[in-house]
Structure 1
Amino acid sequence: MVLAALVLVLEGEAYPEPLGLRGFFYTLLKEAFPEVHDQGENPFALGFGVWKGQPWARVSLLKEELYARLSPGLFALEGQEVRLGRPYRVRAVLQEGHPWAGLTTYPRLFQGPGSPNLPLRFYSPTFFRRKGAQYPLPEPRLVLESLLRRLEAFGPLKAPQEVREALLERTTIRFLEGRTQMARTEVDTVGFVGKVVYHLPRATEEEALWLSALGRYAFFSGVGAKTSLGYGLVRPYAEPPARLEGPKVGEAGP
């Protein structure tokens, strides 16, 4: 049950355009795995950015079969010219050695320690489809429901009902620092970028393990709507040991 995030290190101007990146990936997907479009949840997520002055594009694959079919073609792109809205040369295709590359399995998500605190950093605009509109606030229920839905769609485990209820009903926000940022989709919207620490009070050992596993899963799956355009790019971060505080009265906010 492999989960993989492959990063294409690019040579070119700026970073890929969201619609161009999705169009490129869908062409690969149609050739290697056309039946994937029949599913409700996307078993993949895309991303893009710049690291150390180098633009990159990311393909995250949430099903082992998808990884098996697509990874040979992705690795073969090294040294090739591609068009991701703009033309690029692929300098390298990485499965490790880049902060947004990685490989794990679904069982390993649950092998790490559990914690009642889940610090997440939202790197690209994150928003949710809610009552027919895009909603940009990273509320605990929206974030965790998004992660649970994808993990249960493609992984071997389902959260026990009592754990699900605890995660969705009791989780709160301990710390939040961020802002909204424009997201270019078919219809422009805004999404949240920044840091949030989610907290599950009175968490049992099992509940804390599930909360932490969902945080580790977020690195691969993304959160919210339009992850196929590179939005909802999220990863856990190290919570500082000191007590978290917001700006004092009179200080500028984020």
Structure 2
Amino acid sequence: MDPERGVILRCSWLRDIPLPFAADTLARVRLGPHSFSVTAVEWTEETFASLAKGPATTRADLTFRSPVFFTANGRRTVTPDQRLILGSYRRRWNEALGEESPYRIEDDVWMATQRAVELHAFDLRTVKRDGGHGHDVSGFVGTVTLRVTADEAKETFGTLLRFARYSGTGARTTYGFGATTVTFPRDHDG
């Protein structure tokens, strides 16, 4: 919720088929029990190929705009672990691509990438948000800086971080958790 502009809804469509509706003609959107007037639509299209072929990078600043948490073995985790952060991007990236896609991030590349990425800095706080049916869910919001320490990981790192704004971070992104924006500092290679 932005007090100046109202509710800002960011959506991603990760399929190679057209949207099932005309986004630029939406007049109202229903979110849970609330209905909102649509005052503006901004549309950006990117292909998996363009995300994969973008510049390599050694650093990225992530801003988590809605609570981020992870689930593993039936438990929620509210820890800014770089493996969990990047792992959520890789999982969605590969899920959205077919098995035969040349852009899939295979296990050997993934292992090398996650070993080469470190959590460089963070400024986070824990917040609670309604997770549905009146149950609060804890997650973190704020900023994280990730850094790559090995040249062979820079391209995959860049691909995953360019994808982050579309996939969101962590669990329950389809419910509005994990909204993420990414900026690449001046040391952005390419």
TM-score of the superposition, structure 2-length normalised?
0.85
Distance 1:87 1:200 in 2: 43
Residue equivalent to 2:96: 154
Question: Does the 8 A contact of 1:134 with 1:189 survive in 2?
Answer: no
2:25 is aligned, of 73, 76, 79, to 76
Give the drift of 1:88.
Answer: 2.0
Q: How far apart in 1 are the matches of 2:186 and 2:136?
A: 35
Q: Is the aligned partner of 1:134 residue 2:99?
A: no
| Aligned counterpart, 1:50 | 2
Map Cα deviations across residues 142-191 of structure 1 (whole Å, 9 max, x no partner). 11111111101113322243321122233211111111111211332211
Shift, 1:240, TM fit = 6.8
Match of 1:64 among 8, 11, 16: 16
Q: Residue 62 of structure 2 aligns with which residue? A: 120
Please state whether the residue corresponding to 2:131 is helix, strand or coil: coil
- Counting only pairs closer than 5 Å after superposition, residues 1-254 of structure 1 correspond to structure 2 as 49-50=1-2, 52-65=4-17, 68-72=18-22, 74-78=23-27, 81-84=28-31, 85-95=33-43, 102-155=44-97, 156=101, 157-186=103-132, 187-204=135-152, 207-239=153-185
Q: What is the alpha-carbon distance in structure 2 between the residues aligned to residue 166 and residue 51 of structure 1?
A: 43
Distance in 1 separating the partners of 2:35 and 2:186: 41
Unaligned runs of 5+ in 1: 1-48, 96-101, 242-254
Q: Which one-letter code corresponds to 1:232 in the other structure?
A: G
Q: What root-mean-square deviation, in Å, do the aligned CA atoms of Structure 1 and Structure 2 show? A: 2.0
Q: Which amino acid in 2 is paired with 1:175? A: A
What is the rounded CA distance, in whole Å, between the counterparts of 2:38 and 2:164 in structure 1? 26
Q: State the secondary structure of the residue aligned to 1:144.
A: helix
Which deviates the most, 56-65 or 122-131?
Answer: 56-65
Deviations 1:114-142 (A, max 9, x none): 11223211111000002322111121111
Equivalent pair of 1:120/1:237 in contact (CA under 8 Å) = yes
Aligned length: 180
Q: Calculate the TM-score normalised by the size of structure 1.
A: 0.65
Separation in structure 2 between the aligned mates of residue 179 and residue 127 of structure 1, nearest angstrom: 12
Percent identical among aligned pairs is: 27
**What SS class does the counterpart of residue 103 from structure 1 fall into?**
coil
Distance 1:197 1:182 in 2: 23
Which structure carries more relative contact order (alpha carbon 8 Å, separation 6+)?
2
1:70 maps to amino acid: P
* Mapped partners of 1:228, 1:130: distance in 2: 18
Give ranges in structure 2 of 5+ residues lacking alignment.
none
